[in-house]
Amino acid sequence: MLRKHIQLGWVAASIVLVSAAQLLLKLAAQNIDSITFATVIDALGTRNSIYLISGLCCYLISMACWLKALEKLPLSTTYPLLALSYPLVYLGALALPSLHETFNMLRLSGMLLIMLGIVLLAPRASTRFDKK
Amino acid sequence: MNLAYAAVIVTIAFTVISQLLQKRVAHQCASSKANTGLHWYLQQPTFWLALACLSIGMLFWLYALTMLDVSKAYSLLSANYLLVPLFAQIWFREKLTSLQWLGIGALIVGLIMIGRS
């Protein structure tokens, strides 16, 4: 029982980190008009590069957590849980004034449908271990 | 425009393959007798292949985003949530109940709604 919770802990850590990575990369990219090799090079050395590097670090640690989770959990039910990062990123973007994210009814409904999907999937993700 | 869609399809293919490879190497780690930490992964060709596929997928994703509307691109990418469980069933013989497929369906509709908003 405890082991299962540890597995889901890796999943949760992975999702939170990947959401943080998205926000950090968004912060890094918001002052760049288009992504070309030159604009990325220009961004290095500014505050953007701190966002960029910490964002990429979050991605790497997230992948490590993801592998730890997949050691025991089945991919088919664990992978869809990653969609939880959409509501998380949305909440984060609403909380960060500099990203100018606005409230939107259709978007909120989409988020709720994602959560419904997660609720239908998540209990099995914790109980059903792959046999292979 | 067609190039953009092609880039999204390549992105989907590479990220799905990467997920399957990650599951494969993680499963190998779990079933190996050696005491394995994260450094174990660095010695596995499958891990590097998974990382390479993910990186290639991301490059094509950035390329697609320069040509395609972000919301449309994200809606297309929601195909991953169908394809990864589908191939996991085939390759790893995982089983999904109809309720779980319904959950995946709800999730994909939610993602498309976000894309349209």
Annotate chain A with three-state secondary structure. CHHHHHHHHHHHHHHHHHHHHHHHHHHHHCCCCCCCHHHHHHHCCCHHHHHHHHHHHHHHHHHHHHHHHHCCCCHHHHHHHHHHHHHHHHHHHHHCHHHCCCCCHHHHHHHHHHHHHHHHHHHHHHHCCCCC
- Chain centroid to Cα B71, Å, comes to 18
How far apart CA B54 and CA A17 sit, in angstroms, is 17
How far apart CA A116 and CA A114 sit, in angstroms, is 5
Chain B residue with minimal CA distance to A119? Answer: B103
Please name which of B9, B37, B47, B27 lies closest in space to residue A76, comparing C-alpha atoms.
B27
Chain A residue with minimal CA distance to B32? Answer: A71
Q: Do B81 and A120 touch (CB under 8 A)?
A: no
Q: Do B110 and A120 touch (CB under 8 A)?
A: no
- Residues of B whose CB is below 8 A from A85: none
* Res. B51 pLDDT band, cuts 50 70 90: very high
Q: Do A71 and B99 touch (CB under 8 A)?
A: no
- Which of A61, A67, A104, A119 to mutate against chain B (most B CBs within 10 Å)? A67
Q: In the predicted model, what is the mean pLDDT of residues A109-119?
A: 92
Q: Quick check: B108 pLDDT over 90? A: yes
Looking at this protein, which amino acid is placed at residue B18? S
Q: Which two tokens mark B18?
A: 């990467």
* Res. A17 pLDDT band, cuts 50 70 90: very high
pTM over 0.80: yes
pLDDT at A130: 46
Please name which of A19, A127, A130, A5 lies closest in space to residue A83, comparing C-alpha atoms.
A19
CA A13-A16-A21 angle, 5° bins: 120
pLDDT at A125: 53
- Residues of A whose CB is below 8 A from B47: 67
Please name which of A39, A63, A65, A64 lies closest in space to residue A52, comparing C-alpha atoms.
A39
Q: Do A132 and B93 touch (CB under 8 A)?
A: yes
* Res. A132 pLDDT band, cuts 50 70 90: very low
A116 vs B: CB within 8 A: yes
Q: In the predicted model, what is the mean pLDDT of residues A39-64?
A: 81
- Which of A11, A61, A79, A82 to mutate against chain B (most B CBs within 10 Å)? A79
Q: Which long-range contacts (CB under 8 A, 24 or more apart) does A71-74 make?
A: A71/A7, A71/B26, A71/B27, A71/B29, A71/B30, A72/A3, A72/A7, A72/A129, A72/A130, A72/B30, A73/A7, A73/A8, A73/A11, A73/A125, A73/A126, A73/A129, A73/A130, A74/A125, A74/A128, A74/A129, A74/A130, A74/B88, A74/B92, A74/B94
Query: What ipTM did this prediction achieve?
Result: 0.90
**Residue carrying structure tokens 């991953």:** B80
Rounded mean pLDDT of chain A? 81
A80-111 pLDDT per residue, tens:
999 998 888 888 888 887 777 777 888 889 99
